[in-house]
Amino acid sequence: MSSDKKSTKYLPHIGLTVGDFNGIGLEVVLKTLQDERIKNYCVPIIFASGRLMANYKRVLNMDFAYHQNNKFERENLHERKINIFNCWLDSVNLQPGKSTIEAGACAHMALEKSTEALKNGFIDAVVTAPINKHNMQSDSFQFAGHTEYYADRFGVKQNLMLLVSGSLRVGVVTGHIPLSKVSESLTQELIAEKLDILLASLKQDFGIQRPRVAVLGVNPHAGEEGLLGNEELKIINPVIKQFKEKGHFVFGALPADGLFGSLQYQKFDAILAMYHDQGLTPFKTLAFANGVNYTAGMPVVRTSPDHGTAYDIAGKNIADATSLRESLFLACDIVKNRKAHEAWLEQRKSAPKALRPSRKKGSKRGFED
């Protein structure tokens, strides 16, 4: 691997897709990578093009050095520079703040190349900058978003949208569906699948051996014992009972307003909400600037900032890079925690029962040796 100074420890290779280049994605990526300390924690590779980077340097009046790659070869990466993987070679028409078919096509190419890189081990994780779901739609991309795309590419039938900010973690049972369809979509099987994914992720991705999970009701006041709806009694509570009987620390169904309003959410390692806005509204109120969207239940690690393309401020050099930076840090954390979890499982298999090691809780940054 090309470097001014060889690393003494393994650095995770983290891919960053360009997203819609007319939005703020590339701006927050570059602002994040301007901090030289980032390169002490990972080897970042932006999936875009060198020509686009040159244009963007002028738009943002940034001065930075970058190293271009055209093949998936780790030895060609540079640990002390921003690495660019050329997903296309032609010039593109950069129009900050505008939705264009060209930008959507390039965002799709970056996704495809990053997926290929994940599959062949060129990168350990991917951080996806925001896309415009509408200008990406084509014969080869017909997905509601990143989550559905990666699930299809890696053959995963069920995953979990998990919003993360420090110890605050909020997952949702139903995602991008109309509110009118939430109740009919809730089943015991679906809730159990999501809860299984959440518990497994808390253990292997966050290093929490015995996680405590709060499960929200779907109705006001969690149904008031059937007075305001019976989904809790017939669907949600039976699942919670099953998990408790298996020894899991799962609690509910709890009213969402009371849990967040009284700060009781701080007592749990994660909260499982029943629908999108029930979980994301309090999460973004508490942690919009530094929130991370993580796709749990996948064989690969994918994170993204919890904001969109923000066309209204694109190209003005005023976008806040905090969420993207936290997405990069979380990706590094999870890569390292997964490796530690795999090593722990192997150690348990070979050790006598009385001598089997216990898990240590995952680190906040995951960078300690």
- Asked whether the CA dihedral 41, 47, 53, 55 is positive or negative, the reply is negative
Q: What is the pLDDT of residue 216?
A: 98
Predicted confidence band of residue 3 (pLDDT cuts 50, 70, 90): very low
Beta-carbon contacts of 348 under 8 Å, excluding residues fewer than 6 positions away, are 356, 357
Residue labelled with tokens 């590419």: 153
Distance between CA atoms of 43 and 103, rounded to whole angstroms? Answer: 26
Tokens of 192: 């159990």
Which residue did the predictor score with more confidence, 81 or 262? 262
**Range from 30-39, 203-212, 238-247, 279-288 carrying the lowest mean pLDDT:** 30-39
Least confident of 198-207, 262-271, 335-344: 335-344
pLDDT score recorded for residue 356 = 55
The pLDDT value recorded for residue 229 is: 92
> Distance of CA 336 to CAs 207, 247, 339, Å?
10, 27, 5
Mean pLDDT of the chain: 89
* Rounded Cα distance, 113 and 85, in Å: 9
pTM summary value: 0.88
Tell me the mean pLDDT in the region 330-346: 91
Residue 365, pLDDT > 60, answer no
pLDDT at 113 over 80: yes
Share of the chain above pLDDT 90, in %: 70
d(CA 256, CA 281): 11
DSSP 236-261: IHHHHHHHHHTT-EEEEEE-HHHHHH
Q: Rounded mean pLDDT of 119-131? A: 95
pLDDT digits (tens, 9 = 90+) for 233-270: 999 999 999 999 999 999 989 999 999 999 999 999 99
Domains of the chain listed by start with CATH number = 1-156+298-364 (3.40.718.10), 158-294 (3.40.718.10)
CA angle 81, 85, 88 (to 5 degrees): 140
Is residue 21 scored above 50 in pLDDT? Answer: yes
DSSP string of 26-71? HHHHHHHHTSGGGGGT-EEEEEE-HHHHHHHHHHHT----EEEESS
pLDDT tens figures, 33-74: 988 888 889 999 999 999 998 888 888 888 878 899 888 888
Quickly state the pLDDT bin for 320 (edges 50, 70, 90). very high
Confidence of residue 4 (pLDDT cuts 50, 70, 90): very low
- Per-residue pLDDT of 133-153, as tens digits, reads 899 888 778 888 888 899 999
